[in-house]
Structure 1
Amino acid sequence: MLLLGTSVFSQEDLLAKEYVKNGEFEKALIAYQELYNKSANNNNYFLELVKTHQQLEQLDQAEALIISQINRINYPALYVELGYNYQLKQNTEQATQNYTKAIESVATNPNYAYSVGKFFENRSLLDQAIATYLKATELKPSLNFNIQLARIYGEQGNVEKMFESYLQFINTNNSYVSTIKRAMSDFITEDADNENNAILRGILLKNIQQTPNLLWNELLSWLFIQQKDYKKAFAQEKAIFNRQPESLNRIEELAFIAMNDTDYEAAKTIFTYLAETAQNPDVQIGAHYNLLQIDLKTQTNITAIEATYLELFNTFGTSIQTLKLQIAYAHFLAFYKQDPKAGTQFLKQSLELPLSPLEEGQVKLALGDILVLQEKFNEALIYFTQIQRNLKNSTLAQEARFKVAQTSYYKGDFKWAESQLKVLKSSTSQLIANDALDLMLLITDNKFEDSTQAALKLYAKADLMAFQNKPLEAIKLLNTILENYKGQSIEDQALYKQAKLYENNKDFEKAITNYQRIIANFKEDILADDAYFSLAQIYEKHLNDPATAKSYYEQIIFNHQDSIYFVEARKRFRLLRGDNVN
C-alpha cells in the first residue's frame, strides 16, 4: 500500500510538472493544490503552488498561502518568498522588510543561511544572497559558503571576487581542486593577455607572496598550461618539486603536454631537467628517449643523434630496461640513416634478451616495419602474423593485424587487405579503428575504377614511399597520378596525400593549393572537411593569419556538422573570435 501511494504521488507530481511545462497553469494549480492538501509538509509542493498562483497573477492568494505557512512552521526562508510576492505587487517597502527579516534570521542561527541564501538565489536576488552568506560566515567562520559566493559573483560578472571565492574554498577543501579548475576554465582562454587570465594570475601571485602554499603554485602552473606557456608552468612545477621532492610525475606529464602540442623547445628543456634530476633510471631513460624523438623532428644532424644513442647504450646498457630505446635506435638506423640491415641485426640481438611475450611482440613489430621498408613484404607478414597468434585480443595484436592489411595494400593485394580492415573497424583501439576505416574506404572507393587497378597501385606505391621516409619521391609519384588520372576518384586522395607531405616539408603554399583544389573540385566528397580543417590549421598555426583560419573553421561549423572536426573547429573559431571557451 505504501509503494502504491508513493507511485500515485509520483504520477500526480509528473502530471503537475507537465502542466507547468506546457503553460497550463490553471490545471497545474489544481494538481498542486491536491498534492499540497495531501502532503502539507512537502516544501516542494508548497513552493510550486505559490509559483503557480504567481503565474496566474493571483498574488493575494499566494500572499495568504505564504503567511499561513509562516505562522504554521518556523522556516525563515519563507520571508524571501513573501518579500518576492510583495515585489511582484510593486510593494517595494514590504518586500525589503521581509528580505531583511530573512537575512536577520541568520543572526539567531547561522545555519539558516543555507536555505535563506538558496531561496534568494532561486529568485535571482543575488545581492541579498551574498549578504546572507557573508553574514553567516562572519557569525560562524567554520561555515564555508565560498562555492555559493563564487557562483553568484560569476553570474554578476564580478570575476575577481569569483576567483577569490573559489580559491578560498579549495584552500580548505583541496579534494575539490579538479572541480574548481573546471569551473574557472569557463572564464579563461588560451590568450595570456585576456583580462580574466590576468586577474587570476594576479590573485595567485599575490597569494604565493602573502600566504605561501604549494596549491597556489599548482594552480598557477595549470593556468600557464591553459595559456600554452609551458616554460612558465615548468618554473612553477620546479618550485613545487624543490619543496616536495617525492615524485617527478607532474613535471614528466608537463613535458609530454608540451611535446604533444609541438612546443619542442619547452619540451626539450623539461625532458633535459628530468634526465639530469631523476634518480630512477627508468625516468632518465624515458627522458633521453623523448629528447631523441624531438631531435629527429627538429634536427638534421644524423651523426650527432646516433652518437647520443650509442652514448646512452654505453651508460645504461642493452638490457630489457632499455628495450624501448633499442627499438627506437633500430628504427633510426633503418629509416633515417638508411641502413635497414644494421637496424635488423640490432633488433635480432634484442630478441635474444629474456623478453616477455609482449616485449617480444614489440620487437617483432619493429622488425616487420624494417622489412616493409625494404619491400620484403612476405617476411614482414610472417612477423606480424606471429604477433597476432601469440598475443591474441591484445592491442598489439590488433596493431599487427593493421600492419598485415597495410602491407598487403602496399604490395597490391587489395582484396586481402580489405578483409583484414573489415575486422579492425570495430577495434577496441579507436586510433586503429579510424586508420582501418580510412584505408578501407580508400580501397573500396578506387578498386573498381579500372580492371588493372593501376591508379590505386600507384597511390599505394606513393604511400609506401612516404612510409619509407622518401617524401620527395612520393610527391613526384603523386604528380604522375594527378596528371594521368585526372577526374577519377583517386584524384582527391592524391591531392590530400600530397598536401600532407608538403606540410611535413614546411611547403605550406603548395599544401594550400592542393587543399583549395579539393574544395573547388570535390566539395561534396569525404575529404572536403579534412581540407577545410587543414587549411584553417595552416593559417592559424603557421602563417599567423587568424582571420583566414576563422573563415575555414566557419565552413566546417555551417556546412559540415557531421565532421569529426566539428567540435574542434567550433572551439578554435570561438577562441579566434575572442570568446571565453572551456
Structure 2
Amino acid sequence: MRFLLIFTFLLSFNALAQDDILAREYFKNGDFEKAATTYKKLYAKNSRNKTYLLQLVKAYQQLEKFKEAETLLQDELTRYEYPQLIVELGRNYSLQNDTINSKLNYDKAILTIEKNPNNAYAVGRSFENYSLLNEAIVTYNKAMQLKPQLNFNINLAKIYGEQGNIEKMFNSYINFSEINENYLNTAKREFSSFISENKENENNIILRKILLKKIQTAPNLLWNDMLSWLFIQQKEYKKAFTQEKAIYKRELESLNRVEQLANIAYNQKQLNVAKQIYTFIVENTQEIDIQINANYNLLKIETEQAKEKDYQIINNKYLKLLEKYGKTSRTVNLRVAYAHFLAFNLDKSRDAVAFLKESLNINYSSYQLAQLKLELGDILVLEEKFNEALIYYTQIQRALKNTKISQLARFKVAKTSYYKGDFKWAESQLKILKKSTSQLTANDALDLKLLISDNKQGDSLQTALKKYAKADLLAFQNKKNQAITILSNIIQEHKTETIIPQALLKQAQLFEDKADFEKAKSNYLQIISNYTDGILIDDAIFALAEIYNNQLQLPEKAKELYERIIFNHADSIYFVDSRKKYRALRGDSIN
C-alpha cells in the first residue's frame, strides 16, 4: 500500500512537471491561449504555487482578458493579503489605462510595509520589474525608516543610476558600503562607469564632494580608500598618496597599498611623485624586501632623470646598497640593475660582465641565476660578443624549459642571430615562439618574424635587411645618432623595397627618444600617407596620436587619429587604448 502511494505521488509530480514545461514553452512561443489553459490546470491542482497564478495572470493580460486576471487576483487576495499580488492588480488596471485604480493599489501595496517592513523585498522588486522606479524608491526608503537594520541602498543605487540621479546613486552605494565593507570594490567598479579621467567632469566633482564630506563628518578609512581610488582614476597620484598616508598612519600595517600606488605612478611616468612615494616607503618600513625594492626603484628613477655628471653618485648608491644588503637572494634584482647601469649608462660593459660572472657563484635559485644570465647575455650582445651571449641564453632554455623566462631567452637567441645576419636561424626560433605563453614575447616574436620574412625576398644579398639589423643593434647599444644615419641611408637607397615603412617607423621611434617630435611626426605622416595598406599603419596612427596628445598639445588632432583606429582598425592591439583615450578626450566616462 505504501509503495502504491509513493508511485501514485511520483506519477502525479511527473505530470505536473511536464505540464509546467509545456506551459512555459507555450508562453515563450506566444501561444497564450494554450499557455493560459495549461497554467489554469496547474493552478487548480496546486493553488499554493504563486508562480502558476502569476503566469496565468500574465497569459490573460496578453490575451487582453483583464477581467479574468482581476478576478483571479482579487479572489486570491481575499484569502491572503500577499503584497506582490496587490502590485499585480495595480498593474492589471494600468494595462487598461485605469490610472486611478492602479495608483490606489500601488499605494495599498506600499502601505503593507507599515505592518511588516520585510514586505519591501517583494513589493520593491515587483515595482522594479514593471519599471515603476519612483514607487520602488518610496518602498525601499519607507522600509528602511521603519526598520533601520534593513539595507536597500544597493537597490536604490541601481534605480538612481537608471534615472540618471548620479548624486543619489553615489550616496546609496556609499551608504551600502558603510555597512557592508566587502562591497567597496564592487562600488568602485560601479562608479567607474560614471566617472572620467577628467577631474573637472561633473560626476567626478560630485563623488569627490560626497567623500570629502564623509571624511569630515563621519571619519572612516573607507572614505580615504575610495577617495584615493578616485584620485588614481584622475591620475592625481600625489593626492592619492595623501590619502594612502592617512590610511597607513591610522592602521600602521602593511605598506603594500602605498607600494602599489608608487608602481602605478612610475608606470604612468609621473616619476617625481613615484620618487616621493618610494622615499616614504624606505623611511617607514622595517621589512627588508620592501626596503630593497623601494631603493631599487628609486635608483631606476634617478637613472632615468640623471645627466651623465650624476652617474658617479648613482654608482656609489648602488655599491652602498649592495654592501648593506649583502650577497643574498633578496638582492638579485639589485645586482641585475647595477650591471645594466654599469654597461648601458657608465659604458663599463667589461666591469658589468665581470660583476655578473662573479654573481653567478652566489647560491641563487635556478630562476635567479637565469635572471643574471639574461642580463649577462644582453651585455655581451652590447659588446657584440654574440656567440658567448648565445651560450648563456641557451643555458637558460635548458635549465628552465617551458617557462616565460626560457621563452624570453629563446627570443633573445633569435634577436642575436638576427643582429648577426643569420636570418634563417632567427626565423626557426621565432616560429617556435608564436605559441609562447607570454603574450609580450609572442607579439615581439611575430613582429620580428614578419620583419625578416617580408624583407628577405627579392634581394639575394639581403642588403637592406642587414643594414636595418645593424641600425637595430646600434639602437640597442644606445647609439641613436648612428642608427638614425643608417636608417636614413636605407630610406634613400632602397626606396622601392618593402623595408621602407619599417625603417621610417624605427627612425620615428628614435626621434621620439631624442625628443625630436617634429621629425618623428614627419615620419609617421609618411607611413600614414604612403602605406595605408601596410601592417604598420595602426602603429603609425597610434604613435602620432600619442605625440599630438602628450607632446604637441593638439588634442583634437589626437582624437581624430584615435577615432581612426576605432573605426578602421578594430583588430589592432591599440584598439582598447585608443577607445579609452578617445573617450577621455571627448569627456566620456572611463568605461
Q: Any unmatched runs of 5+ in structure 2?
A: 1-9
Residue 523 (structure 1) aligned with residue 532 (structure 2)? yes
Contact 2:32 2:62 in 1 (8 A): no
Give the SS at the match of 2:502: helix
Match of 2:35 among 31, 43, 47: 31
Q: Give 1:115's aligned residue.
A: 122
Judged with a 3 Å threshold, the aligned counterparts in structure 2 of structure 1 residues 59 and 545 are, in CA distance, closer, same or farther, namely farther
Q: Give 1:264's aligned residue.
A: 271
Deviations 1:108-161 (A, max 9, x none): 211110110011111111111011111111111111101001111111221111
Q: Give 2:490's aligned residue.
A: 481
Q: Whole-Å Cα distance in 1 between the matches of residues 19 and 340 of structure 2?
A: 70
* Higher mean displacement: 379-388 or 453-462: 453-462
AA at the equivalent of 1:224? F
Q: Whole-Å Cα distance in 2 between the matches of residues 490 and 574 of structure 1?
A: 34
Match of 1:153 among 151, 160, 180: 160
Count of residue pairs the alignment pairs up = 576
Judged with a 3 Å threshold, the aligned counterparts in structure 2 of structure 1 residues 76 and 192 are, in CA distance, closer, same or farther, namely same
Q: Any unmatched runs of 5+ in structure 1?
A: 20-24
Deviations 1:163-190 (A, max 9, x none): 1111111111111111111011111111
Give 1:69 shift: 4.0
Residue 84 (structure 1) aligned with residue 88 (structure 2)? no
Residues 405-554 of structure 1: pairs in structure 2 closer than 5 A: 405-554=414-563
Residue 274 (structure 1) aligned with residue 281 (structure 2)? yes
Judged with a 3 Å threshold, the aligned counterparts in structure 2 of structure 1 residues 509 and 12 are, in CA distance, closer, same or farther, namely farther
AA at the equivalent of 1:34? T
Q: Give 2:190's aligned residue.
A: 183
Give the SS at the match of 2:158: helix
Q: Whole-Å Cα distance in 1 between the matches of residues 19 and 190 of structure 2?
A: 37
Contact 1:557 1:569 in 2 (8 A): yes
Match of 1:359 among 355, 368, 373: 368
Q: Give 2:4's aligned residue.
A: none
AA at the equivalent of 1:404? V
Judged with a 3 Å threshold, the aligned counterparts in structure 2 of structure 1 residues 295 and 56 are, in CA distance, closer, same or farther, namely farther
Q: Whole-Å Cα distance in 1 between the matches of residues 314 and 19 of structure 2?
A: 75
Q: Give 2:7's aligned residue.
A: none
Residues 9-158 of structure 1: pairs in structure 2 closer than 5 A: 12=22, 15-16=25-26, 18-19=28-29, 25=30, 27-31=31-35, 33-35=37-39, 37-38=41-42, 42-44=49-51, 46-71=53-78, 73-158=80-165
Q: Whole-Å Cα distance in 2 between the matches of residues 10 and 371 of structure 1?
A: 75
Give the SS at the match of 1:246: coil
Q: Give 1:235's aligned residue.
A: 242
Q: Give 2:213's aligned residue.
A: 206
* Higher mean displacement: 112-121 or 62-71: 62-71
Give 1:216 shift: 0.8
Give 1:348 shift: 1.2
Q: Whole-Å Cα distance in 2 between the matches of residues 10 and 38 of structure 1?
A: 7
Q: Give 2:3's aligned residue.
A: none
Give 1:62 shift: 3.6
Q: Whole-Å Cα distance in 2 between the matches of residues 206 and 543 of structure 1?
A: 38
Q: Whole-Å Cα distance in 1 between the matches of residues 269 and 22 of structure 2?
A: 59
TM-score of the pair, normalised by structure 2: 0.93
Q: Whole-Å Cα distance in 2 between the matches of residues 262 and 192 of structure 1?
A: 19
Judged with a 3 Å threshold, the aligned counterparts in structure 2 of structure 1 residues 73 and 405 are, in CA distance, closer, same or farther, namely farther
Q: Whole-Å Cα distance in 1 between the matches of residues 394 and 364 of structure 2?
A: 18
Q: Whole-Å Cα distance in 2 between the matches of residues 472 and 141 of structure 1?
A: 72
Q: Whole-Å Cα distance in 2 between the matches of residues 452 and 16 of structure 1?
A: 74
Residue 162 (structure 1) aligned with residue 169 (structure 2)? yes
Q: Whole-Å Cα distance in 2 between the matches of residues 12 and 374 of structure 1?
A: 78
Residue 377 (structure 1) aligned with residue 386 (structure 2)? yes
Give 1:544 shift: 2.1
Q: Whole-Å Cα distance in 1 between the matches of residues 226 and 421 of structure 2?
A: 54
Judged with a 3 Å threshold, the aligned counterparts in structure 2 of structure 1 residues 475 and 136 are, in CA distance, closer, same or farther, namely same
Deviations 1:532-577 (A, max 9, x none): 1111111112222211111001111111112122222122212211
Report the RMSD for the aligned CA atoms in angstroms. 2.0
Q: Give 1:558's aligned residue.
A: 567
Give 1:15 shift: 3.2
Q: Whole-Å Cα distance in 1 between the matches of residues 354 and 315 of structure 2?
A: 16
Give 1:57 shift: 4.2
Contact 1:170 1:176 in 2 (8 A): yes
Residue 248 (structure 1) aligned with residue 255 (structure 2)? yes
Q: Give 1:397's aligned residue.
A: 406
Q: Give 2:232's aligned residue.
A: 225
Deviations 1:327-346 (A, max 9, x none): 11111111111111010011
Deviations 1:426-445 (A, max 9, x none): 11111111111111111111
Contact 1:12 1:35 in 2 (8 A): no
Give the SS at the match of 1:451: coil
Give the SS at the match of 1:77: helix
Give 1:4 shift: 6.6
Judged with a 3 Å threshold, the aligned counterparts in structure 2 of structure 1 residues 432 and 46 are, in CA distance, closer, same or farther, namely farther
Give 1:29 shift: 4.5
AA at the equivalent of 1:172? I
Contact 1:214 1:240 in 2 (8 A): yes
Contact 1:29 1:49 in 2 (8 A): no
Contact 1:336 1:469 in 2 (8 A): no
Give 1:17 shift: 5.8
Q: Whole-Å Cα distance in 2 between the matches of residues 489 and 11 of structure 1?
A: 64
Judged with a 3 Å threshold, the aligned counterparts in structure 2 of structure 1 residues 175 and 29 are, in CA distance, closer, same or farther, namely farther
Give 1:303 shift: 2.5
Q: Give 1:22's aligned residue.
A: none
Contact 1:36 1:42 in 2 (8 A): no
AA at the equivalent of 1:579? D
Judged with a 3 Å threshold, the aligned counterparts in structure 2 of structure 1 residues 147 and 319 are, in CA distance, closer, same or farther, namely same
Contact 2:237 2:261 in 1 (8 A): yes
AA at the equivalent of 1:79? I
